Structure 1
Amino acid sequence: MFELSFMRNAFMAGTFIAIVSGTIGVFVMARSMSFLTHTLSEIGFAGASFAVFAGWPALNGMLLFTMLSSVLVGQMSIKESRREAVISAVSALFIGLGILFLSLSSQTASSATSILFGSVVGISRQEVWQLVGLSLLVMVVVMIGYRQLKFDSFDAVGARVNGINSTLISVVFLLLLALSVSVAAQIVGSLLIFILLTLPAASAKYFTHGVAKMIVLAILFAMLGTWLGLYLGYLTNWPVSFFIAVIEVVIYVTALIFQHLVND
């Protein structure tokens, strides 16, 4: 399997994607922003479709669209009373734009499949290094602002009382989330991006309560799903995103059962 260059690229990219997704996912769950991963995935779909239309790498288009829109959409949907309407409007707009850009492109069918479900075969060494660079950027920023981000995510009231600039933290986090969505979509695709950014972290919280421990466990769960998904995809030639989805759901159900047994 590792004799094939595209599998080596996929495993390397998948490892960094799992690290980023597990880390950011813990804060996504703590800040109750799983809804935003859905919205950004649709924005990313439009961005990747635009990139295909313009002849750019899909990742560049996703980065452009998600980075420009993440803060705006995040701030617009802070109030729960208008969150559903904002999500519906933004999702409809960007799904429509994505379909439009694909229809104007000459690569509609294959490009749509790669954007929606990811593409292991299509990841080049250059794209892998781009993913590695973006992943390291996300992790460095998280490490620099870890204490403030943890405080603001898990105790927002206490953070404000202690003078932490919650607005700045929120903006930085939204940008990090946009980067994470764009990075992770290279393996699971824009349609299923929320899997790696929510389920590993959601599972981890049932096994431990320390933030650092949750991050480590979420990374391990994301890595297990990604590695095993790539391996099973190689053996069966079925979509890798399907296996990742099933594995992460199994882990989550196992976590729920574990929590139920512990409480009983």
Structure 2
Amino acid sequence: MDGFLDLVLDFSDYGALLPLVSNSLIAGAVLGVVGGLIGIFIMMRDMAFAVHGIAELSFAGASFALLVGADVVTGSVIGSLLAALVLGVLGTRAKDRNSITGVLMPFGLGLGILFLSLYEGRSANKFGLLTGQIVAVDDVQLTGMLLLSAGVVLALLAMWRPLTFASVDPVLARARGVRTAGLSIAFMVVLALAVAMAIQVVGALLVLALLITPSAAALRVSSNPLLTVLLSVAFALTSVLGGILLALGGSLPISPYVTTISFVIYLVCRLLEKARSPRRHLV
């Protein structure tokens, strides 16, 4: 039991190791803000499954870049954008989007596994693309992530009102002149960039813990639009930063810590929702 605990949490050299993850902490904070903001729209538009499909194509792009010696972040972004454009153009309806996502997911995962099996470099690089790496963000990657994050946030702010309208009632939005088709494609592109960034920290298989779970938890405890967004961002920040700090004290990948914190937050929010529900019936 002691050996298992040392594997999961060991803070004996914590002070010396903490400077090694300074870039990861900054990247995690940025991703927490982006994930918390965009996750609200993912939930409103019922696109949780689509996120997984984009993540698999992003993983394939990153794996190919790793195989040929190109920039992994660029490969991840290209893979995400290709998936997002396919879903945005062909999957205008939720039913179509889900079926296309079901086709893209195994295709992307299969390609990614093929590229990784051909890669003869460090095994940690292979594993990190799937489950994340705690010390994976260098200065160049951090700069790129900051620029991409700024672009994502600005794009979300620019389309916030029409996107909210189209997400809540797309039929009425079209009747009022909102170009929902173009807006949907624009959102898919923004989502693709967010997924590509998230993969650099938490990995392709567990990206939902950063982009979906915090927002799902926030929607359980509040119906106020502003408060929901703030809670979603706070939950995402807690999950990713807490996961990085805990992973530093063990030898496991970062993703189990991030997903566990995120899941616990969701469970607590479900319990709070259940505790409040009898009062709502009495009012």
TM-score range, shorter chain: over 0.9
Which residue, out of 179, 195, 198, partners 1:165?
179
Instruction: State the distance in 2 between where 1:2 and 1:137 align.
Output: 34
2:272 matched residue in structure 1? 258
> Which one of 223, 246, 253 corresponds to residue 232 of structure 1?
246
Q: TM-score, normalised by structure 1?
A: 0.94
Deviation at 1:78, TM superposition (A): 3.8
In the alignment, which residue of structure 2 is the partner of 1:176? 190
| Deviation, structure 1 residue 71 | 1.9
Quick check: 160-169 or 234-243, which moved more?
234-243
State the Cα RMSD in Å.
1.6
The 5 A counterparts of 1:133-172 are: 133-172=147-186
Counterpart selection for 2:104 from 79, 86, 90 = 90
Q: Return the offset for 1:88.
A: 2.8
CA shift for structure 1 position 202: 0.4
* Equivalent residues of 2:87, 2:97 under 8 A apart: no
Instruction: Report the equivalent of 1:32.
Output: 46
Match of 1:116 in 2: 130
Supply the distance in 2 between the matched residues of 1:98 and 1:240 (Cα, whole angstroms): 20
Partner in structure 2 of residue 47 of structure 1: 61
Segments of structure 1 that go 5 or more residues without pairing to the other structure are none
Equivalent in the alignment of 1:216: 230
Query: Aligned-pair distance for 1:26?
Result: 0.3
Q: Does 1:190 align with 2:230?
A: no
Question: Sequence identity of aligned pairs in percent?
Answer: 30
Task: Work out the CA distance in 2 between the residues paired with 1:82 and 1:208.
Answer: 30
* 1-structure distance, mates of 2:257, 2:230: 22
TM-score (norm 2): 0.88
Q: Which stretch of structure 1 is more off in the superposition, 207-216 or 110-119?
A: 207-216
Distance 1:72 1:83 in 2: 9
- Identify which of 144, 165, 176 aligns with 1:130: 144
Aligned to 2:6: none
Deviation sequence 1:48-82 (CA, Å, 0-9, x none): 10110121121110101111221212443344554
Moved more, 44-53 or 235-244: 235-244
Q: CA 1:120–1:260 in structure 2 vs 1: closer, same or farther (change >3 Å)?
A: same
